[in-house]
Amino acid sequence: MSDFPNLETERLLLREMVASDAPDVFAIHGDKLAMRWFGSDPLTSMEEAQKLIEAFAGWRQLPSPGTRWGIQRKADLRFLGSCGLFKWNRPWKSCAIGYELASFAQGEGFMFEALSTILDWGFENMGLNRVEAQVHPENLASTRLLSKLGFVQEGCMREAGFWHGNHYDLQQFALLRRDFMIQRSSEERMAIGR
């Protein structure tokens, strides 16, 4: 994976995260309430936020690479969160998806807009056939988002997650390329009919 794939939507810029994003990353990842479903303990320092940004950048160099986009609102250039495709299994044409959004930006459809765009990019540029997501059973907002994107719940992975000193069950979701393309075609037809 060479040049960073900057993407754009109607309201958002999806771009590489940089060192100057550390305060915004820390504000999101240091918030215990916001991070209760994320799958890792909240950050406790700005230094940890910087290391997280560096880790996300390092994904692109891994044997099973990934890309993490910073989500920035076009209207005021405010940093809203991030999303990414990672654990790319090239032979199997699959990867995982992850995301988080600042509390102030939730409920506006930003993450649906961002994930639709990176999924489209992933299916087109990574040759994906399957994208997986794991979600805490009580994270209803994420479950609704994935369903709206066309993901199907496949089962429960018992005590697959560990954070905040506890083991958690995770619901397994997946989206197949053919289902995404059918949904995308349907959305485009609806847009033309408006």
The C-alpha atoms of residue 194 and residue 188 are separated, in whole angstroms, by: 10
33-49: average pLDDT:
85
Q: Is the pLDDT of residue 41 over 90?
A: no
CA distance 173 to 170: 9
User: Does the pLDDT value for residue 189 go beyond 80?
Assistant: no
Query: Range with the lowest mean pLDDT among 11-15, 60-64, 66-70, 114-118?
Result: 60-64
Quote the percentage of the chain above a pLDDT of 90: 74
Domains defined along the chain, listed by start: 7-193 (3.40.630.30)
Residue 163 or residue 124, greater confidence: 124
